[in-house]
Structure 1
Amino acid sequence: MAWLRDTTGAMTIEQVAASPAWQALPGNLNMGFTHDAIWLRVAIDRPADGPRDWLLEINNAVFAEVRLYQGSAGAGWRERRAGGDVPRSEWDWDFRVPVFRLHVDEPGPHTFWLRIRSRTSISAQVVLWQPAAFQARANTESLAYGILFGAYAAIFIFHLLFWTWTREEVNRWYAGYVACSIGQMLLNFGHLQQYTGMPGPLGDRLLALLICSSIWFGVKLCVQFLGLAALMPRLARILPALALVLAVVTSFLAVDVGYAAGVAPAQMSILVLIGILTAIGLRLWLRGHRHAGFFLLAFGIYFAGIVLRILRNLTVLPPNLLTDNCYQVGAIAHMAVMSLAITWRYNALKQENARVQAEALRVQTDYALSLESTVTSRTASLVAEIRRREAVEGELRLALEAEKRARQEQCDFVAMVSHEFRTPLSIIDTSAQRIAGSAGTPQLTRDRSGNIRQAVRRMTSLMDALLSLDPLDNALRAFALASVDPEPLLRSVAREWDGDTVVVTCSALPGTFPCDPELMRLALRNLLSNAIRHSPQDSPVHLGAVGGDNGIAISITDRGHGIPSDELPKLFQKYFRGRRAAGKPGTGLGLYLVKRVIDLHQGSIRVDSQLGHGTTFVISLPHATADPARPSAAADNLLLTSG
């Protein structure tokens, strides 16, 4: 045989036959990935007693088109076609690869020309057969391929079912990888095209996608089998991600640009990844990981077959019996060893799981015994603690009863003291008032009487502040509303001061209003006392009340010095006294008591003050207050605060 490269793909058979560029073909056809048309000149010398009928086999199922020319320029040319782009009805022989019938009538030399065009690698064996020998070989081949594909199918189904049963990831990825390998062999050997009539372009794309996808499936399988997630976690993430990127990119190139544009870099990537995975397996095996030894044995044979086949496609090795069948032989040996390895790995995992379960059961049993002991000890401690707390509770109950008795005695004492103090103070105040009002009393005597009355009022206010905490607490516990006419209540409080000391103005007040009259008097008395104390001597304090839809607003206004703005937020705090109160009688409890009373009535109080212009306290009381028979939430909070 001789060969000729047609770079344009447009040469006619006459031009080819007359071309001086023919070169001898030293072995089998192996031109690699090329878009050129390759011509073969096949010379046959028939002996006088030799047979007339022969079959010419071109052993490559994925050639796009193979044309056979027979004849001469003088006698005319006969053209026949086969290949993936040619309908099967035009083939000389219905077989998985192109086969042409040759009829040689005359003894002596005869020449045939083959024109080969392919989207894949141009690599093939060209074999001349006697029909009977070819048919016998075809029958034997069919049996061998049946056994091969049957073994593949059995392994695929076994691992798929095994994965469904055990959810072992190695079996899932191995089933996917086997399915990918079956598809590649069916297309590479031409069986799928022969029995389905699949057109050549579709078959080439499908074959390219399977080859590119095998990068990802193979790497995932190897990573899972080697257990890299536990041994080399970073590499276990990087390698599958890299393989996925390579698979996607090469698949896109194969479909969009062409078969060679995707498959050639995919096969180069496979060679690199095989080297990396082999190095990883060898390293783990040297570290003492037994499963890495199975990996090297199972995948080593398979990797060798893949490497030889790729090197043949890249024209590094020639096509022959070894390079044409190394992939299949490696795959069969690989699957046999791999199935045993996966079975061993599963049994090892099963034994490890049984050991872990036994250890967990032992730990659980020990823990249960320890827990039982702890519960017994803890129960005894709890029983002792409960008894101790019952004893403490009894002591607290006795202490509470003693506290109640002491508090009652204190309340009785406070009531007695209040009565004993108020009676003489009232007599002193009345006497001083009569002396000052008597006709003919000297001015000096009236001034001293006024001083006496002022001192009495200060002492009364101080006593109210100091002695009203306990009465207020009692009142909170016995808080009961009553329907009160507000105007008489206000005027009765104002009459506690003589003359025009307190000026009362009322507007639109309702006839009745719910409040606790005693607590309200206490609050108003404290506010009026403060206002009178801080007002100029000749300036009255104004007590006003206005009714409305929302309730009653009560205001107490004086014309004193006013309150600094920084003191306003602190006025109702317990024991707080302003800077102007320094050196004057008082305890800082009056406004605190007022705020508690107003809160109890579910009302609010605010202060408006300007330095040099006086101060106004405004009390807002709603129409509806808590049920007299049940203290409000505010009262409950006040009781807790008081306590």
Structure 2
Amino acid sequence: MPLSLRVLAAVFFCLLAGGISAAPIIDIGSSNTHYVSDDNVGVLVDSSHELTLQDIMRLAPTAFSDQQSLQLGFTSSTVWLRLNVYRHLHAPPTWWLVFDQPLLDLIHVYVPASDGSYQERRGGINLPFGAHEIVSRRPAFAVDLPANETQTIYVRLNSRNSLSTSIQLMEPTAFSALAIQEALGFGAFFGFYALTLLCYLLFWYWTREVVSGLYLLYLTFGAAGAVLSSGYLQRQLLPDLPLCNVAMIIPLAGALITGMLFGIQILGVRKAAPRSAMVMMGATCLITAIGLIAGLMDMTLLAMVTLEVGLLATMTVLTAIAIVRALHHNPSAWLYLAAFSVLHIGMALRFLRDLGLTPINTLSENGIYLGITLHILMMSIAIFWRYDQLRRDKDQAQAAALEADLRALAERHAHREQREFMAMVSHEFRSPLAIIDLTVQNLIYSTREENDSRVPRYAKIQRAAQRLSVLMNTYLSAERLEDRNEPPSMRICDLTQLLSGVLLDLDTTNGPEVKLEIDSLDPNFACDPDSLRILMTNLLENARRHSRIDQPVILRVSGRQPDALEVSIVDQGEGIPPDELPRLFQRFFRGRSAQRHPGAGLGLYLCQRIVRQHGGEIKVFSELGKGTEFRVWLPKREIPEV
């Protein structure tokens, strides 16, 4: 491009930057630090990247705008700065020009020499560390200023990172003191961060919790970003590699993904709103992919802007969700708000500064480190308090479980002793009861006279013996059924013969008549005949016990349904009170009307267990003064041929 066109282009760019006026003079006096502000520096933005120092020097001073802010943010253009510096006689001659942004790619500083020419000094992260004029995390350049003269210094800036930076002219001793303070501060910060990471690594290794792992990853990416953005590590290990800028993108991308995952997990978004959680993660992954691809394609400007805007959006969304969840009394949301608010504020100040949207000051420069420190302290206190609470809850749960185990062991021991006692009772009592019953029957049979006064007494003894035998048999049957873990012994049963045997046994006892109604019985019905006999006997005895002698009990058995056997036992007794119906099948429960009859409250409980073991269902319907009906439904099963 011809020189005249380049000059015209520069003037045009200056006009776009906000007007034409001369930059004021930076007056170097007694202070050891002088800040270069928007008011005393001229700025020219060269979007063509073709202007040289000679082109810039040919421009009039008014071509530089003093209205353009140094908060340049991310820009692909070349930025020229013009500084007019005047040193008083009493001020020291040597000063250092310092840039606060340690991640500037390339800085050219043009300082006037004694012969009227300009000396070029170069710095930035694109140069080897040994090529820097002054060893420091911040780019710094020595400037010799003659007394009582105005010197014009030109600066050319190119960077794919943020160009938002403050500039200072400092005495070497003041800068050295500041560098020592910064080194001590960053050393303490990184030492604290490293110790925290080690503690969280051990904590995750012990607990293996997903939340702890996500937070550990989040802190790791944050640590990498903090180390790289400080300028210490990058200048020494990655000074001249193309990956130097990509190295800043990877921690941002990792923090974006892990921060969203951790926020969704700790705030319970996945459980409360799974679709919203999927949308949030999908958007986060898309932004991260765009940033990483742009970084790998050496489009650092697009990558950094995408990732930092994505992080700002993520922090805003998660904070809003935490506020909503906290209003619903979610303790994890309160923890997130308390611990992450300071971190989000510090990160937001830094990102907004990098984007050129907030002023460059101490808070926007170092607020992120303060926010990280406070965040880690608060999270550490909260997590270890929570862990201590969980440990105490675990100890209490273990103590309760141990107590429950001991109680169960004692119950099993007592139950075993009870079974042993009942086995002894069964063995010792059955023979005497049988002898008593047989002897009484013989006495009744041998009594020839019908009006003999001894007959009622013999009958009374016989009924007492029979009641004791029934009571013992019922209890032992329930115990055997309770202890039996194997499924019922299913085989083909002759239902007609089984029912006839039950009725024949009942005929020997006192009670109302049982009328049997049979409809289409399946000759190949599969069941456990012993259990089914106990079921029928208990239900019929219960119905006869609560019926008058002149009111027959109806036993209906139907096999018409293709998949089930239906059994219905109907009596016309006094009925069951409604408040007792829900408890009727409970173990050892006996209703008010059952108190005048012998029993242990196990009959109906035993019936329900038998029905359930067969895969069936039992229901009761009752109305006071009209009677009760028990309905049993037993599924038909096929027994495989052997």
Report if the CA contact (8 A) 1:267-1:310 is conserved: yes
| Cα gap change, 1:180 to 1:29, in 2 (>3 Å) | same
Instruction: State the partner residue of 2:143.
Output: 102
User: Does 24-33 or 373-382 show the bigger shift?
Assistant: 373-382
Structure-to-structure mapping, 1:394-413, within 5 angstroms: none
Report if the CA contact (8 A) 1:291-1:345 is conserved: no
| Cα gap change, 1:267 to 1:198, in 2 (>3 Å) | same
C-alpha displacement at 1:147, in angstroms? Answer: 0.6
SS at match of 2:353: helix
| Cα gap change, 1:91 to 1:198, in 2 (>3 Å) | closer
Deviations 1:240-261 (A, max 9, x none): 4543443233212222251121
Query: Distance between the aligned counterparts of 1:149 and 1:27, measured in 2?
Result: 36
SS at match of 2:378: helix
The reply on whether 1:300 has 2:344 as its aligned counterpart is no
SS at match of 1:101: strand
Structure-to-structure mapping, 1:346-357, within 5 angstroms: 346-357=387-398
Deviations 1:48-84 (A, max 9, x none): 2221100001111211100011228983221111111
Counterpart selection for 1:3 from 27, 31, 43: 43
Report if the CA contact (8 A) 1:157-1:175 is conserved: no
SS at match of 1:30: coil
SS at match of 1:160: helix
The reply on whether 1:291 has 2:312 as its aligned counterpart is no
| Cα gap change, 1:242 to 1:358, in 2 (>3 Å) | farther
C-alpha displacement at 1:115, in angstroms? Answer: 0.2
The reply on whether 1:186 has 2:231 as its aligned counterpart is no
Counterpart selection for 2:92 from 34, 45, 51: 51
Structure-to-structure mapping, 1:193-232, within 5 angstroms: 193-199=234-240, 201-228=242-269
Structure-to-structure mapping, 1:291-440, within 5 angstroms: 291-365=332-406, 367-368=408-409
SS at match of 1:33: coil
C-alpha displacement at 1:368, in angstroms? Answer: 4.6
Structure-to-structure mapping, 1:83-102, within 5 angstroms: 83-102=124-143
**Structure 1, unaligned runs of 5 or more:** 389-640
Report if the CA contact (8 A) 1:180-1:210 is conserved: yes
Counterpart selection for 2:320 from 279, 282, 291: 279
| Cα gap change, 1:344 to 1:234, in 2 (>3 Å) | farther
Report if the CA contact (8 A) 2:290-2:306 is conserved: no
Deviations 1:390-413 (A, max 9, x none): xxxxxxxxxxxxxxxxxxxxxxxx
Instruction: State the partner residue of 1:583.
Output: none
Deviations 1:250-287 (A, max 9, x none): 21222225112122121122122112211222222222
The reply on whether 1:14 has 2:54 as its aligned counterpart is yes
Letter in 1 for 2:309: M
Q: Among the aligned pairs, what percent are the same residue?
A: 26
Instruction: State the partner residue of 2:102.
Output: 61
C-alpha displacement at 1:120, in angstroms? Answer: 1.2
C-alpha displacement at 1:306, in angstroms? Answer: 1.1
Query: Distance between the aligned counterparts of 1:22 and 1:177, measured in 2?
Result: 47
Deviations 1:430-461 (A, max 9, x none): xxxxxxxxxxxxxxxxxxxxxxxxxxxxxxxx
Letter in 2 for 1:56: L
Letter in 1 for 2:58: A
The reply on whether 1:112 has 2:153 as its aligned counterpart is yes
Letter in 1 for 2:364: T
Letter in 1 for 2:185: A
Instruction: State the partner residue of 2:178.
Output: 137
Letter in 1 for 2:336: F
Instruction: State the partner residue of 1:128.
Output: 169
Query: Distance between the aligned counterparts of 2:261 and 2:389, measured in 1?
Result: 21
| Cα gap change, 1:129 to 1:144, in 2 (>3 Å) | same
C-alpha displacement at 1:362, in angstroms? Answer: 4.8
| Cα gap change, 1:118 to 1:338, in 2 (>3 Å) | same
User: Does 4-13 or 376-385 show the bigger shift?
Assistant: 376-385
Report if the CA contact (8 A) 2:74-2:355 is conserved: yes
SS at match of 2:344: helix
Query: Distance between the aligned counterparts of 2:417 and 2:277, measured in 1?
Result: 50
SS at match of 1:220: helix
Structure-to-structure mapping, 1:141-180, within 5 angstroms: 141-180=182-221
C-alpha displacement at 1:290, in angstroms? Answer: 2.5
Report if the CA contact (8 A) 1:40-1:115 is conserved: yes
Query: Distance between the aligned counterparts of 1:366 and 1:322, measured in 2?
Result: 63
C-alpha displacement at 1:26, in angstroms? Answer: 5.4
Report the count of equivalent residues.
Answer: 388
SS at match of 1:121: coil
| Cα gap change, 1:358 to 1:230, in 2 (>3 Å) | farther
Letter in 1 for 2:50: A
Report if the CA contact (8 A) 2:110-2:119 is conserved: yes
Q: Over the residues paired in the alignment, what is the CA RMSD in angstroms?
A: 3.0
C-alpha displacement at 1:238, in angstroms? Answer: 5.2
SS at match of 1:346: helix
| TM-score normalised by structure 1 residue count | 0.56
Letter in 1 for 2:227: L
Report if the CA contact (8 A) 2:128-2:239 is conserved: no
C-alpha displacement at 1:354, in angstroms? Answer: 3.2
**Structure 2, unaligned runs of 5 or more:** 1-40, 428-475, 481-640
Counterpart selection for 1:33 from 74, 82, 94: 74
Deviations 1:112-137 (A, max 9, x none): 00000001111111110001111111
Letter in 1 for 2:393: E
Q: Larger radius of gyration, structure 1 or 2?
A: 1
C-alpha displacement at 1:3, in angstroms? Answer: 0.6
| Cα gap change, 1:122 to 1:378, in 2 (>3 Å) | farther
Query: Distance between the aligned counterparts of 1:187 and 1:25, measured in 2?
Result: 32
